[in-house]
């Protein structure tokens, strides 16, 4: 019973963490990058220890090589000096050292080969991990772009469906503006039609008559004969002017 509850709790916890990871892929990628750095550091520590082993074997091989050279020379010298027993002991020591030298040389060669293989494996693994991380980073950036484009397209689709609708704010605003404009135009027309133009017309006629009289006086004084205006009738002769008297 408790195991089932624990499994259920773990399942809910996994779903919760999975949801957080989906919402924050950059944070998850940073965690993986940090894990990679730690793994590289730990691997380099082990690689350094292996490199130390290789260096120690190389030192031992050099030491045995020097000892082998000395034993070989000593054996020859003792043999030439006629000390056969001492030469035999030195020769036996020489054989032992030579055998150890060969064994250590093989171990050193194998350790060196293994070190190079580990370095190559590390470089390949690190390059693959970095390529993977870079690919994921580009994928996250592309995901953001695609998500933003999808949201914009959804917004545009929603605007196309809502613009021009029966309850659209822009349409109501247009109707309000048109109604107010019509009211203002009507008020302006009523005010214009209410202006009394009769006084203005009379005053304009008086000003024109006075101007014509002034022009006539000026023409008479200067002896200029004014032509009658088009549509104007000739003035009747003045009263008191008599025609010719018949005999």
pLDDT digits (tens, 9 = 90+) for 151-175: 766 666 665 555 555 456 667 777 8
Number of alpha carbons in the 13 Å side-chain half-sphere of residue 195:
8
User: How far is CA 191 from its chain centroid?
Assistant: 60
Q: In terms of Cα–Cα distance, which of 70, 77, 55, 67 is closest to 100? A: 67
| CB atoms inside a 10 Å sphere around CB 90 | 21
Predicted confidence at residue 159, as pLDDT, reads: 56
Residue 10, pLDDT above cutoff 70: no
Query: Quick check: 68 and 101 in contact, CB under 8 A?
Result: yes
What is the spatial distance between Cα 54 and Cα 59, in angstroms, rounded to a whole number?
9
The greatest distance separating any two alpha carbons of the chain, rounded to the nearest whole angstrom, comes to 209
d(CA 29, CA 26): 5
With a cut of 70, say whether residue 220 has pLDDT above it: yes
Percent of the chain scored above 70 by pLDDT?
Answer: 70
- Share of residues in the chain with pLDDT > 90 (%): 0
Residue 236 has pLDDT above 50, yes or no: no
| Radius of gyration for the alpha carbons in the chain, expressed in angstroms and rounded | 60
Supply the pTM of this predicted model: 0.45
């Amino acid at each position: 019973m408790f195991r089932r509850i624990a499994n259920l709790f773990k399942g809910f916890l996994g779903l919760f963490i999975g949801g957080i990871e989906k919402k924050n892929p950059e944070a998850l990628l940073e965690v993986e990058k940090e894990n990679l750095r730690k793994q590289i550091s730990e691997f380099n520590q082990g690689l350094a220890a292996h490199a130390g082993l290789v260096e120690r074997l190389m030192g031992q091989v050099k030491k045995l090589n020097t000892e082998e050279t000395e034993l070989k020379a000593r054996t020859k010298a003792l043999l030439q000096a006629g000390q056969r027993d001492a030469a035999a002991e030195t020769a036996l020591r020489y054989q032992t050292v030579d055998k150890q030298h060969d064994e250590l040389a093989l171990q050193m060669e194998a350790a060196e080969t293994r070190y190079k293989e580990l370095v190559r494996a590390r470089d390949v693994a690190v390059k693959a991990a970095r390529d993977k991380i870079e690919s994921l980073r580009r994928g996250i950036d592309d995901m953001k772009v695609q998500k933003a484009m999808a949201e914009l397209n959804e917004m545009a689709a929603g605007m196309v469906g809502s613009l021009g609708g029966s309850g659209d704010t822009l349409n109501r605003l247009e109707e309000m503006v048109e109604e107010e404009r019509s009211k203002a135009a009507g008020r302006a027309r009523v005010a214009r039609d209410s202006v009394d133009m009769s006084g203005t017309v009379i005053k304009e006629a008086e000003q024109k008559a006075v101007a014509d009289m002034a022009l006539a006086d000026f023409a008479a004084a200067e002896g200029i004969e004014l032509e009658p205006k088009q549509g104007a009738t000739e003035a009747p002769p003045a009263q008191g002017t008599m025609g010719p008297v018949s005999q």
